[in-house]
Amino acid sequence: HAKLERDRISTYSPEYDVNTVERLQLLADLRSALDSQQLRVVYQPQVDLNSRRTVAVEALVRWDHPTRGTIAPDDFIPLAENSGLIFPVTHFVLDAALAQLARWREAGHQIRVAVNLSARHLSDVGLAQQIYEALARHQVPPSALVLEITETGILSDTVRADMVIRAVRGIGVEIAIDDYGTGNASLSYLKRLQIDELKVDRSFVSNIGSDHHDLIIVRSTIALALALDLRVVAEGIEDDATAEALAQLGGVIGQGYYLGSPASVDEISERLELERRS
């Protein structure tokens, strides 16, 4: 008995506990963040690589924590997903993004906005209705909204996810597969699902200037996706050589620090105004 007790104690890890307490604190903080307007949305340009014009922006959430400073989504979205808080978080981002898109379109900028969905939304049969209402509230045409989902999101509960995606596409909203190439979905599967856009993951795109294998993978993936009539966004473009190499494929949209980092509404508005005048 004494030995058992000792073994049990020896597996006890104080670090784990500290972590849990910290996570619980962060979770409580996130709950109040939603009510006290600590979340905000920044927008990253998606640029037609041939014309170099902004054709869309991706909405990315930020959390201005009162004592910890700005917290990146990778550090709280997983927590939100596990706790169910992802639903109000997504609602906030969707609403903010559509309200802003309405203002940009009002000002004559015919861009799209992309919003990230978590896997959990794909088992929510009320999703299409919620999105329909948000679009109506802000008078934004459904085709101006792109929802980004990851392969893992789709493959977790295939039947239900198929149904939810079909319902969303049924109202005219577009679906993009995010981080493409990091999961297991094949292009033929995605074609059958009827998606609109493929976002090639930055882990393949970033190094195409120096890694010949990456260049071959990215080039053939893009060729296949374009042949399947999908829109293609290449993520993680960090230099001119990469942008140029992808521009040569024709009809590719780029996203990355080189083309524009995530920015405030004012910065994006200024950018759109400059583009209009050129």
Residues that bind ligand C2E (CB under 6 A): 44, 60-61, 72-74, 77, 90, 93, 116, 118, 148, 178-179, 202, 236-238, 256-257, 262
Are 93 and 115 in contact by the 8 Å Cβ rule? The answer is yes
Instruction: Report the partner that residue 234 touches, choosing among Ca ion, ligand C2E, none (CB closer than 5 to 8 A by kind).
Output: none
Interacting positions 174-193 with Ca ion (CB under 5 A): 178-179
Distance CA 63, CA 146 (A): 23
Of 91, 111, 112, 107, nearest to 41 by C-alpha is: 91
How big is the chain by its Cα radius of gyration, in Å? 21
Q: How many residues bind Ca ion (CB under 5 A)?
A: 5
Q: How far is the CB of 62 from ligand C2E (least distance, A)?
A: 7
Instruction: Report the partner that residue 162 touches, choosing among ligand C2E, Ca ion, none (CB closer than 5 to 8 A by kind).
Output: none
Q: How far is the CB of 13 from ligand C2E (least distance, A)?
A: 28
Closest to ligand C2E by CB, 162 or 238: 238
Distance CA 267, CA 218 (A): 31
Q: How far is the CB of 153 from Ca ion (least distance, A)?
A: 11
Q: How far is the CB of 174 from Ca ion (least distance, A)?
A: 6
Tokens, residue 41: 């949305």
Could you say whether residue 171 binds Ca ion (CB under 5 A)?
A: no
Q: Of residues 100, 116, 118, 242, which one binds Ca ion by CB under 5 A?
A: 116
Closest to ligand C2E by CB, 11 or 184: 184
Could you say whether residue 197 binds Ca ion (CB under 5 A)?
A: no
Residues near 270 by beta carbon (within 8 Å), at least 6 away in sequence: none
Instruction: Report the partner that residue 45 touches, choosing among Ca ion, ligand C2E, none (CB closer than 5 to 8 A by kind).
Output: none
Angle at 88 between CA 34 and CA 175, to 5 degrees: 130
Instruction: Report the partner that residue 196 touches, choosing among ligand C2E, Ca ion, none (CB closer than 5 to 8 A by kind).
Output: Ca ion
Backbone angles phi, psi at 271, to 5 degrees: -60, -45
Distance CA 274, CA 183 (A): 38
Within 79-132, strands assigned E span 112-116
Closest to ligand C2E by CB, 181 or 262: 262
Are 104 and 269 in contact by the 8 Å Cβ rule? The answer is yes
Residues near 135 by beta carbon (within 8 Å), at least 6 away in sequence: 98, 141, 142, 145, 171, 173
Interacting positions 121-150 with Ca ion (CB under 5 A): 148
Interacting positions 59-98 with Ca ion (CB under 5 A): none
Residues that bind Ca ion (CB under 5 A): 116, 148, 178-179, 196
